[in-house]
Chain A
Amino acid sequence: MSTTTVAHHEEHSDHPTGIMRWLTTTNHKDIGTMYLTFSLIMFLVGGSMILGIRAELFKPGLQLMNPDFFNQLIGVHALIMIFAALMPAATGFANWMIPLQIGAPDMALPRLNNWGFWLLPPSAILLTLPFTLALFGIGDGALATGWTFYPPLSVQGGIGVDFAIFAVHLLGISSVMGSINIIVTLFNMRAPGMTLMKMPMFAWGWLITAFLLVATIPVLAGAVTMLLTDRHFGTHFFDAAGGGDPIMFQHLFWFFGHPEVYILLLPVWGFIPQILQTFSRKPMYGYKAQVYSLWAIGALAVVVWAHHFFTAGMPVPALLYFMYSTMAISLPLAVLFFCWIKTMWKGSMTFETPMLFAVGWIILFGIGGLTGLVLADVAADAQYHNSYFVVAHFHYTLFAGGIMGIMAGVYYWLPKMTGHMYNEKLGKLHFWLTAISFNVTFIPQFFVGLAGMPRRIPDYALQFAEFNMISTIGAFILGLSQLLFVYNIISCARGGQKATDKVWEGAEGLEWTLPSPPPYHSFNEQPVIK
């Protein structure tokens, strides 16, 4: 970082201001900020939708909405949370942190990067527009099939399905463009001396995520395109009247859908070890073992898809294969868990908010993983399938494992991004409220699920009433405590105690060598890694 860097910094920082800055930017930090902001907004939108659902489920019977609208809220909640909240958050971190962590001047393809982001707001419009149109009497609302689009219901559905199909198309283009950018950045932009096996774990997590996205998102695009032609152009892909099969859609969808789970989680598995390392003040345990485990999980992720529909009908050898291959994922995942725990072992640990989230994350995500092992059992799955047990399971993996992990990352990097410390007390309060209310919401769902309460139904039998009431109370506390999170982020962005360059005492890595916040152009001259 010599004086020439400063000269270049000034020369290049003649970027536009106001709205044009954000519309036109090619800067990885600006784009990362937009991704993260978009993600936070959509997190609140998707969250409010599910509070509507939980309010309806507060007691048995139909109170607030008709079943069709209930189904619409469920489907759009899932699509928004997966595609518009979790994925953009991970991509936002990738944009912000990967160039800083590998000592790159920017992402490799900056204009493409901008396009990747600006495809998201149109997709969000496509997802939510059918609600608005229905208010004006056009069409009958958003897709009412759940986020999985299963035919024949999705072939018969109204224009909401078409809107969701095109939203998925645009989101898919965005993800593929983002993945291309990340793969190219990691292969071509690393600082001299940073070999692949010296890359930060977050970079590894994202590299494998990007490979999964490139391999599976186009398959989803193909599947929803077939749905579109079945709907409007008379093809018979999913219609037995012409030799097609509705179950084929499930295969195509989950060929994408299962890797998608790892797409959401691998970036988190990347930065959580970095957080554990920072706050344990000792080196990461088993770097190589973790990298190989990430690869193993990435590879297994694309060959286990049919465990999502064991009950749909499959030959027994196929059932056995998908059961065993699914269970095999728990081996590399167990390696990861042991590495995470061993990283903390005998460390001189402190529990700032990011660490609280990271440790809470290990426990809660562990529950998600173990219940997944139960669901992978073909014989047991016949009972669990399509019940609230599944809902609770994937919220332990995707809310605890995904969103709480993202929150750990937000608290960890927010001082670096904004140059200010967040309010530690509020952060800790946010963690405890989130962790407790999350369990209050979802532990009862395991039990009602085991007792036979089906998902995606607005009414339920009387014996589930108490547990659903508890679940709804938990969900509202969970939802409201996120306002603390939003407040904390906004007040941190606007001011507060200055953050040092290193921010955390035990922090390691190139991103902590830069000032907080980093200059507009960070590494004009690449650092050399020894």
Chain B
Amino acid sequence: MATHSENQYFVPHGSIYPSILSAGLLSMASGFIFSVATDRGGKSLAYLEGPGHWMMYFGLAVVVFMMFKWLGTVITESMTGKYKSWEDKSFRWGMVVFIASEVAFFSAFFGALFYMRVLSVPDLASYAPDITPYKDFLAVWPSQGPGGHVLGAEYTPNPAFKPMHWSGLPLINTILLLTSGATITWAHWGLIKNNRTQLIIGMFLTVALGIAFLICQGMEYHHAYTEMGLTLGSGAYGATFFMLTGFHGFHVTIGTIMLIVILLRCMKGHFTPEHHFGFEGVAWYWHFVDVVWLGLFIFVYML
């Protein structure tokens, strides 16, 4: 009987959280659509904006609350010893595959960057002026668009912009993230050696570095928008710059929130040297975010 329960895989009891979470996502998505609905064919949709905002924020609240409850259940199950090595292995595989899917997501945007830089901008520059409505493209990166100005809505020229240089804030951010990768590994060593002080100091430093990164990125964006004329509408460069660094920043934000949760759990003594998948999963995620940043630093900022 004893060996039997050892070999028993833990199948959790039913949970209402996933279905409510999905309903929250539905509300969030449709609220977002209503709040950005544009007028078309003379029919105004502006009246949808107010209700759309409410639906979106309500949906977001539901999603956050359900994540909180769901992960809370997972922590309780973990603390009551429901997860043994068999379940642990499932979580490890699951996290690996999830991070692989995140890599695929980022590669779409990297792909867009390479495509525009290597193919579409030089192509546009190569067309004879009499066969293209977009004249005077230069085959340089970043592209300033036809005739020195990217064309926005109604073909009005957007202001000229300056590209972001890699030295300065981006370099500082690189150092911050790389250091945070080291501190979280140091914290992990502390956890394995059962040295709680090293663990908590390491985690605290990692969280602080993550927050510092986000503050620097906020300053960088502010600088770009107010002083360099660099916006989402700055053509191929602006679009890839903000979408790549923006999605990365979003992942850093999520990662920092997860790190804070893990820090609190470390302080409560949730992890043992043998049993700490929660810690490791977040550490893997953090290293992934780190690697993506290195890609960004090389391909978006430096080259």
Contact = CB atoms under 8 A, between A and B. Distances in A.
Interface of A: 4, 8, 12, 15-16, 20-21, 23-27, 104-106, 108-112, 114-115, 118-119, 121-122, 125-126, 129, 137-140, 158-159, 162-163, 166, 169-170, 176, 179-181, 183-184, 187-189, 214-219, 221-223, 225-226, 229, 231-237, 240-245, 248, 251-252, 255, 521, 524-526
Contacts of A111: 12, 15, 17-18, 70
Interface in B74-125: 86, 89-90, 93-94, 97-98, 100-102, 104-109, 111-112, 115-116, 119-121, 123-124
A189 B208 CA distance: 39
A121 B111 CA distance: 32
B13 interface: yes
A521 B10 CA distance: 12
Given A26-B12, A26-B15, A233-B232, 9 more contacts: A108-B94, A119-B22, A188-B90, A189-B9, A216-B104, A232-B36, A235-B242, A237-B239, A241-B151
A1 to B, nearest CB: 12
A232 B38 contact: yes
Contact of A110 (B11, B100, B105, B112): B11
B235 A219 contact: no
B239 A235 contact: yes
B108 A219 contact: yes
B213 interface: no
A241 B108 contact: no
B298 interface: no
Interface residues of B, number: 81
A180 B232 contact: no
Interface string B115-159: 110011101100000001010010000010110001111010000
B18 A118 contact: yes
B10 to A, nearest CB: 9
B90 to A, nearest CB: 4
A214 B11 contact: no
A115 B21 contact: yes
B16 A166 contact: no
B271 interface: no
Interface of B: 1, 4, 7-9, 11-19, 21-23, 25-26, 29-30, 32-34, 36-38, 40-41, 43, 45, 48, 70, 86, 89-90, 93-94, 97-98, 100-102, 104-109, 111-112, 115-116, 119-121, 123-124, 132, 134, 137, 143, 145-146, 150-153, 155, 231-240, 242-243
A228 B300 CA distance: 22
A243 B107 contact: no
A468 to B, nearest CB: 31
Given A108-B94, A219-B108, A243-B237, A162 B36 contact: yes
Contacts of B145: 241-243
Contacts of B243: 225-226, 229, 235
A2 to B, nearest CB: 9
B236 to A, nearest CB: 3
Contacts of A137: 43
A70 B243 CA distance: 35
